[in-house]
């Protein structure tokens, strides 16, 4: 990926928010940064509790931000590199029942209450386990795999999207791939982009089907870089070995349509493929991952391994 990052002096900001937000929307920025700057900030958990167990903000998914990136305008993209994400609390929580919408409708009669359950996050061994596991789950000691559940930019058109859901601007996507080493670009909707983040998980399965990951507080280090005149329709990202697009909608079929269309558009504009070329490439190599199937908008990720991509014609 060609970065439009400025190779001039960039700054690192330690951002300590004093208030939090439950919508992605145009509002007074809490921090102003330059393109290429690094931000280090600690997030609350999904319920608004901080690392010391203090209730600091309201549900759902209170966000740190917004961060204003100088020079960002609609028609640009904002690239977010997740440099580091570390849990900073020795506990997390989940819910004790699957969400009814991921099960056959009549099966919902059998569901136990959605009680809160505590998990231990061992910051030394970097593992995660139930605080009081039943006999059948004694072996369930998961590697800590911290991720950002909810982040993105303010949408265009005066819209304010709840942090419970997601759309073109990002939001509550709950995709496991949003972890250290991932970069993702969001379509800028307003001047300054106005970036928000929060709702980190120490671990999570695909789909967030219990309605939560292991909800906790994290210290996150990000680099924000402006991609001028990069007009994108949906979030586009990059991991070590692949590029990906994100579609957010219901049903899952429509989320998949958005993600697939965005990938085709990307392959055509940046890699010189025709629609037929894209059909050959994607038809035989595409991978799909389910972000969430719990929130009002579901999330589908469409990816392709970098090894199958042609050189970018415009990268000479």
Segment 232 to 251, residues that bind its own copies, using CB under 8 A:
249-251
Specify the DSSP element, H or E, that contains 225. Answer: strand 218-227
- State which of residues 124, 240, 241, 275 lies at the interface with its own copies (CB under 8 A): 275
Contact 114, 211 (CB under 8 A): yes
Region from 28-36, 66-74, 181-189, 307-315 binding its own copies, contact rule CB under 8 A: 307-315
- Residue pointed to by tokens 């369930």: 140
**Phi, psi dihedral angles at 144 (to 5 degrees):** -65, 125
Contact 48, 204 (CB under 8 A): no
Whole-angstrom Cα distance, residue 44 to residue 21?
11
Whole-angstrom Cα distance, residue 202 to residue 137?
18
Region from 8-16, 68-76, 90-98, 237-245 binding its own copies, contact rule CB under 8 A: 90-98
Residue 303: beta bridge partners?
A: 244, 287
Q: DSSP secondary-structure letter at 101?
A: G
Nearer to its own copies, 71 or 133 (CB): 133
**Phi, psi dihedral angles at 160 (to 5 degrees):** -125, 110
Region from 37-45, 73-81, 191-199, 200-208 binding its own copies, contact rule CB under 8 A: 200-208
Whole-angstrom Cα distance, residue 211 to residue 99?
6
Q: DSSP secondary-structure letter at 154?
A: P
Region from 7-15, 42-50, 73-81, 306-314 binding its own copies, contact rule CB under 8 A: 306-314
Structure tokens at 93: 């929580």
- State which of residues 90, 96, 116, 131 lies at the interface with its own copies (CB under 8 A): 96
- State which of residues 32, 53, 75, 101 lies at the interface with its own copies (CB under 8 A): 101
- State which of residues 8, 18, 28, 109 lies at the interface with its own copies (CB under 8 A): 109
Segment 127 to 186, residues that bind its own copies, using CB under 8 A:
128, 130, 133-140, 142, 157-162
Q: How many CB atoms lie within 10 A of CB 52?
A: 9
**Phi, psi dihedral angles at 158 (to 5 degrees):** 75, 10
Binding residues for its own copies, total number by CB under 8 A: 90
308 binds its own copies (CB under 8 A): yes
- State which of residues 256, 266, 295, 299 lies at the interface with its own copies (CB under 8 A): 256
Region from 67-75, 77-85, 183-191, 205-213 binding its own copies, contact rule CB under 8 A: 205-213
Nearer to its own copies, 12 or 132 (CB): 132
Segment 20 to 49, residues that bind its own copies, using CB under 8 A:
21-23, 25
């Amino acid at each position: 990926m060609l970065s439009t990052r400025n190779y001039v002096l960039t700054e690192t900001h330690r951002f300590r928010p004093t208030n939090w937000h439950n919508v992605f929307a145009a509002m007074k920025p809490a921090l102003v940064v330059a393109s290429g700057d690094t931000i280090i900030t600690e997030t609350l958990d999904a319920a608004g509790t901080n690392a010391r167990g203090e209730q600091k903000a309201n549900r759902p998914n209170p966000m740190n931000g917004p961060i204003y990136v100088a020079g960002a305008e609609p028609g640009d993209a904002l690239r977010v590199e997740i440099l580091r994400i570390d849990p900073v609390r020795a506990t997390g929580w989940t819910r004790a029942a699957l969400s009814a919408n991921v099960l056959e409708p009549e099966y919902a009669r059998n569901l136990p209450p959605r009680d809160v359950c505590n998990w231990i996050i061992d910051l030394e061994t970097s593992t995660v386990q139930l605080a009081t596991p039943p006999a059948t789950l004694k072996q369930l000691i998961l590697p800590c795999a911290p991720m950002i559940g909810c982040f993105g930019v303010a949408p265009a058109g005066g819209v304010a999207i709840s942090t419970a859901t997601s759309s073109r601007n990002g939001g509550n996507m709950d995709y496991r791939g949003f972890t250290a080493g991932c970069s993702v670009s969001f379509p800028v909707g307003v001047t300054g982009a106005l970036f928000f983040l929060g709702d980190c998980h120490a671990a999570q399965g695909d789909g967030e089907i219990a309605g939560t990951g292991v909800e906790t507080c994290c210290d996150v280090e990000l680099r924000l870089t402006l991609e001028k005149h990069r007009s994108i329709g949906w979030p586009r990202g990059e991991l070590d070995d692949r590029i990906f697009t994100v579609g957010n909608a219901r049903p899952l079929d429509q989320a998949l349509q958005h993600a697939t269309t965005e990938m085709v558009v990307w392959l055509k504009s940046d890699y010189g493929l025709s629609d037929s070329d894209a059909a050959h490439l994607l038809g035989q190599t595409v991978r799909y991952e389910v972000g969430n199937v719990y929130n009002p908008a579901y999330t589908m990720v469409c990816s392709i391994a970098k090894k199958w991509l042609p050189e970018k014609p415009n990268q000479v």
